[in-house]
Structure 1
Amino acid sequence: MRLRTSLSVALLSAVTLTGACARSDRSSSAPRESAPAPVQAAALNLQAQAPAPGVPPLAQRAMRITVDTTILVDAFDPAMQRLRTAVEEHGGYVSEARVHGGPHRSASLEARVPSAKVGAFRAVVASAGEVVADAEKAEDVTEQRADIGARLRNARAQEKRLLDLLSDRTGSLADVVAVEKQLGSVRETIEQIEAQERLLEGQIAYATVKISITTRREEPTVGAGGRIARAAREGVENAGAVVVSTVVLLAAAGPTLLLLAALGGALFYTLRALVRRQQRRAAATFRPLFQAGPMHPYPPPPTGAPPAQGPQPHPTGAPPAQGPHGGGGEVGPG
């Protein structure tokens, strides 16, 4: 009975601890609400009245420091070597480095330097070149550190209670299995909290310094002939780029254009054949009302036949003169 009562209390405590850890996770990730003005004023007065002996109040806070600096250098390799040496001399290490080639080389370094030596290291960085941009951020994580410590102490206390229950073998096998299962869950929670604590302590102990290094660009003095040659070279390069772009465009759109041309030609010839067939059908079904026959010359008169009656054509081809009575003879005298 005592084991079951203890088991019930332990399980209730574990559930309470799990809920508290979840609420603490949400509260640590979400921004904390500010306390009322009277509470803040009282806290400030208390700190002002009872400061730590011989230690500034700021030194009691846990700070997470991040520095971002951009410098211009005349010589790339000596500057890089100097910065790496300075990181090692100040007890830090380079966590990430990227170097970009080209006519004007550049690089980006991310170093972890002890927080107590950030000022001295920044002085070395400033002396390595011309500082064109500089930013520093200090984030207060004192409350977050205290919260993680409280969660870790509660989880370890819960683990100790569960271990004490397992040391008493008077309960049933089902009770023992339930306690071991809960003990595994609590130990997993302890490992997660310890990982968060190690990460936070590392961020507090070592500041993150990001350095961007760029080689200074100096434009050489060019005379008139050099400018003309450069303009001609740029013109040739632009013309070549236009030709290459045109060829690329034709190569990309050529198959599509050929397919469209083939489809258009097939459609054109099909429509023309249909139109011609329709025209032939229309011509075959059309019959005019009257159709003149072929023209034939009159047959010559037979030999020995009497001359044809009627006016004869004049030898000269002129028509005969008409008489007063409409006759075709000549008009006599008187």
Structure 2
Amino acid sequence: MKSSLSIAVGLAVLLCGCSHAKKESVAVADVAPQYMMSAPAAPPQSSDSDDKEATADVIPGPRPYIESVVAPSRLLIYHADLRLKVASLPRASTRLDSLVHRNGGYLSAATEVRADGEWRQAMTIRVVPSRFEPLMAALGGLGTVEEKKLTTDDVTAQHADVAARLATKRAVEKRYIDLLARARKISEVLEVEGKIGEVREEIESTESRLKTLNDEVAYSTISLTCYQPLPHSVPEAPVVSFASRLVESFYTGWTLITSLLIGMVAIWPFLLLGGVGWWAVRRWRRSIAQA
């Protein structure tokens, strides 16, 4: 009896313990979601390299493109005039094409002429501002620099003014379009359409000016003139025979005689006055001698 009673007591204690443990686990499970919702997770610690990688993942695209999108503080237009004397123009032209393509530029215009003892090429080169100075230094190595002129124009204020006027004209156009939608009379429609046409012309002109400014800022201009001196050919003296020289002398003498005769005829008034004066002086002396 004692053994059976102890077994029964042990089973009862065991069942009570299991039920108590189950209640505790359920309580913990109920509290855990509330705790996780009320307490936010702490941000993970990261090193500088991790921060850079995270920034690179957030901002798409390569870094050079990101830097090019950011507007510069000043908008500058670079222009250069360069004149070079080269020993061989074809060889200089070949090297020039290589230098321009290597620096990311292009030729927008080119002319070639032989005149005034020169074989000359005039070219207009467009290149990005970051390669303007390196390309200028490379071009100076093609020959002897005889003339070099650099100019820089700050168009920041001009660009801002053109952009502001463009935004204003577009707003005016939008207001006219709204008025056109509310117009009821034909005269009102025609008047508003005329105003819209005028504003549209001004918008297109302003857009063209803004596009030109952007192009001049995005690509610098180099006006290059390369020339090669051409040798002057001296004609050989012709061989003159004795008969030719004799005929030429006779012709020269005849020309001299005719020139003298023509000169005497041309000064006949002076000859006449001189003869009259000589006769008058001679008669005056004769009258004095007789007296």
**TM-score, with normalisation over the residues of structure 2?**
0.52
2:85 is the alignment partner of 1:69: no
Q: Read off the aligned partner of 1:188 and give its amino acid letter.
A: E
Note the C-alpha offset of 1:189.
0.8
CA shift, 1:76, in A, is: 1.3
2:237 pairs with 1:233: yes
The whole-number CA distance in structure 2 between the counterparts of 1:74 and 1:153 is: 54
Cα deviations by residue, 1:173-198 (Å, 9 ceiling, x for unpaired): 21122111111111111011001111
Structure 2 contact 162–206 (Cα < 8 Å) conserved: yes
Equivalent residue runs for 1:1-334 within 5 Å: 60-101=73-114, 104-169=118-183, 171-215=184-228, 233=237
CA distance in 2, matches of 1:158, 1:193: 14
Query: 1:158 deviation in Å?
Result: 0.4
1:116 shift after superposition: 2.0
- Residue 119 of structure 2 contacts residue 229 of structure 2 at CA under 8 Å; is this kept in 1? no
- 1:146 partner letter: A
SS at match of 2:150: strand
Quick check: which one's helix share is greater?
2
- Show CA shifts across 1:123-171 (max 9, x none): 22012122222110001111111110111000000011111122225x3
In structure 2, the CA distance between the partners of 1:68 and 1:156, relative to structure 1 (3 Å rule), is same
* Unmatched tracts of structure 2, length 5 or more: 1-71, 241-247, 249-291
CA deviation digits over 1:59-114, x for unaligned, max 9? 52111211011112122111011112222232222122121237752211111112
Tell me how large the CA RMSD over aligned residues is.
2.8
Partners of 2:109 and 2:123 within 8 A in 1: yes
Long gaps (5+) in structure 1:
1-58, 220-229, 237-242, 244-334
Are residues 73 and 184 of structure 1, via their aligned partners in 2, closer, same or farther at CA, if it must alter by over 3 Å?
A: same
Is contact 2:86-2:92 (8 Å) kept? yes
Q: Is the alpha carbon distance of 1:121 and 1:180 closer, same or farther for their aligned partners in structure 2, counting shifts above 3 Å?
A: same
Identity of aligned residues (%): 29
Corresponding pairs, count:
169
C-alpha change, 1:177 and 1:108, in structure 2 (3 Å) is same
- Separation in structure 2 between the aligned mates of residue 234 and residue 65 of structure 1, nearest angstrom: 56
Question: CA separation in 1, counterparts of 2:228 and 2:120?
Answer: 6
Per the TM alignment, residue 235 of structure 1 is displaced from its structure 2 partner at its CA by: 10
Q: Are residues 234 and 199 of structure 1, via their aligned partners in 2, closer, same or farther at CA, if it must alter by over 3 Å?
A: farther
Counterpart Cα distance in 1 of 2:238 and 2:211 = 58
Mapped partners of 2:119, 2:238: distance in 1? 24
Structure having the higher Rg: 1
Q: Give me the whole-angstrom Cα distance separating, in 2, the residues matched to 1:193 and 1:122.
A: 33
Where does residue 249 of structure 1 map in the other structure?
Answer: none
Aligned 8 A contact 2:180 2:189 in 1: yes
Structure 1's 68 and 234: CA in aligned 2 closer, same or farther, altered over 3 A? farther
Please give the secondary structure, in 1, of the residue aligned with 2:166: helix
Cα distance in 1, alignment partners of residues 114 and 203 from structure 2: 47
- TM-score relative to the length of structure 1: 0.46
**Paired residue secondary structure (1:109):** strand
Structure 1 pair 179/126, CA: closer, same or farther in 2 (3 Å)? same
Query: d(CA) in 1 for partners of 2:104 and 2:186?
Result: 55
